[in-house]
């Protein structure tokens, strides 16, 4: 990889920084939420699966609104207590995935060497809700959540938002992801250099899924995020840059009064 001019590294979230969880686990959590809400568990799980794109694009607002809407969609009218129980179940599962992150050593090393670090995540409102408790939160300078921006990969806007939040040009960025949804070629299309990360955990979890991710990718591929340090060299040292996040269309300092943290 040509390492000249690299100032920032952008990451995908699921199966790049944290495990995405097995589909059977997602279904089990959704069925449990249905039981919490007093609706048919299988019908609720199906509604969750069917509305993935809507939820990731932020068309259902926050977690509370989403859960209540989905319950009513399958004929339920849950109490506030039931809604809260279902939300707690979902957030606890999300937190368990973040707690299993393998990325912290690499993120710390990259930041120590002066790179700006960002996140480009296709995710629902539950990720935003648990983000302040995520072990990743203190190690990333900017985050772009699709459910807040309304743009998901491979749309170019998903990458441009994160680069703007870091105050770098796209040509100064390396994008790292597992390759889902053509995210690597899309990153290259906006001028970024791309690296595929093939998680050992994903390989062990479901080899068929892992083999289907961007099978035509011929660029750099790594299985340990620590390899990035040697691939992209050392940038100009950081000069008192504060952490930043992207919130509802506006870049604001992470931890400011306008941030949810």
Please state the rounded mean pLDDT for residues 222-245.
66
Please state the rounded mean pLDDT for residues 227-236.
77
* pLDDT tens column, 162-173: 999 999 999 999
Confidence of residue 261 (pLDDT cuts 50, 70, 90): very low
pLDDT for position 234: 63
* pLDDT tens column, 97-114: 999 999 999 999 999 999
pTM for the full predicted model:
0.85
Cα–Cα separations (whole angstroms), residue 232 to 58, 62, 104, 154, 179: 34, 38, 18, 24, 19
Residue 254 has pLDDT above 50, yes or no: no
Distance, in Å, from the CA atom of 132 to the CA atom of 114, rounded to the nearest integer, reads: 23
Residue with the larger pLDDT of the pair 207 and 93: 93
Which range, of 54-58, 135-139, 158-162, 248-252, averages the lowest pLDDT?
Answer: 248-252
Q: Which long-range contacts (CB under 8 A, 24 or more apart) does 109-114 make?
A: 109/226, 109/229, 110/9, 110/228, 110/229, 111/139, 111/238, 113/229, 113/234, 113/235, 114/234, 114/235, 114/236, 114/237, 114/238
Which range, of 5-19, 79-93, 137-151, 204-218, averages the lowest pLDDT?
Answer: 204-218
Residue 250 has pLDDT above 50, yes or no: no
């Amino acid at each position: 990889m040509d390492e000249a001019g690299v100032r920032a590294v952008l990451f995908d979230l699921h199966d790049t920084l944290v495990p995405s969880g097995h589909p059977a686990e997602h279904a089990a959590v959704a069925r449990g939420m249905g039981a919490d809400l007093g609706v048919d568990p299988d019908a609720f799980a199906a509604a969750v699966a069917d509305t993935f794109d809507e939820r990731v694009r932020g068309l259902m607002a926050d977690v509370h609104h989403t859960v209540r809407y989905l319950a009513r969609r399958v004929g339920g009218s849950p109490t506030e207590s039931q809604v809260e129980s279902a939300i707690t179940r979902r957030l606890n599962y999300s937190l368990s995935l973040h707690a299993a992150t393998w990325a912290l050593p690499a993120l710390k090393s990259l930041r120590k060497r002066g790179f700006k670090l960002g996140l480009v995540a296709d995710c629902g409102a539950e990720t935003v809700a648990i983000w302040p408790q995520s072990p990743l939160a203190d190690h990333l300078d900017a985050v772009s959540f699709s459910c807040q921006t309304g743009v998901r990969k491979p749309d170019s806007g998903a990458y441009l938002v994160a680069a703007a939040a870091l105050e770098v040009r796209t040509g100064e960025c390396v994008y790292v992801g597992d390759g889902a949804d053509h995210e690597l070629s899309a990153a290259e299309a906006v001028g970024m250099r791309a690296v595929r990360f093939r998680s050992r955990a994903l390989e062990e979890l479901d080899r068929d899924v892992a083999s289907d991710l961007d099978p035509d990718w011929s660029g750099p591929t790594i299985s340990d995020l620590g390899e990035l340090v040697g691939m992209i060299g050392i940038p100009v040292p950081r000069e008192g840059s504060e952490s930043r996040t992207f919130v509802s269309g506006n870049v604001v300092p992470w931890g400011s009064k306008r941030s949810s943290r």
